[in-house]
Amino acid sequence: MATVLNLVLFGGVLVLHTLVAAVSTRFFRIRMGTQWGSVLYALLVTPLLLLVSTLLFTGVLGIGVNLGNSATAVGVMIGLPLALGFTIDVLYMPTPDEYDVPDTTN
């Protein structure tokens, strides 16, 4: 049975994962020159970040509740924050074209 503290910490980890997904998606959209490049990086690199974070929080620190099986855990801890973070970045943030990125000169 899940305690209130475990549920609160689990919710905090989900919020943190959503924040990581939104920020990394924004970073890739601003820094990448092509639209498909940013999508591929967001879909390949961000889940790896979330997987490492999930292993750290649920494995090493023991935060979270028993979700039953691994497919549910991956869906809730990686898939849901990835979808929410991407949606927040695409729908609620200004487009990357509105930002001025400084040129790098060597």
Length of the chain: 106
The DSSP result for the chain, as a single string, is ---HHHHHHHHHHHHHHHHHHHHHHHHHHHH-SSHHHHHHHHHHHHHHHHHHHHIIIIIIS--S---SSHHHHHIIIIIHHHHHHHHHHHHHS--GGGSPPPPP--
- Give residue-wise pLDDT tens across range 14-52: 999 999 999 998 888 888 877 788 888 888 899 999 999
Residue 69: what pLDDT?
A: 84
- Give residue-wise pLDDT tens across range 88-103: 888 888 777 777 767 7
Distance separating alpha carbons of residues 45 and 77, to the nearest angstrom: 15
- Domains of the chain, by residue range, sit at 4-93
Which residue matches tokens 């991407």?
86
Residue range 66-74: average pLDDT? Answer: 83
Residue range 3-23: average pLDDT? Answer: 89
Structure tokens at 51: 């997987």
Contact between residue 30 and residue 99 where contact means Cβ atoms under 8 Å apart: yes
Degrees to nearest 5, angle at CA 84 with 82 and 87:
105
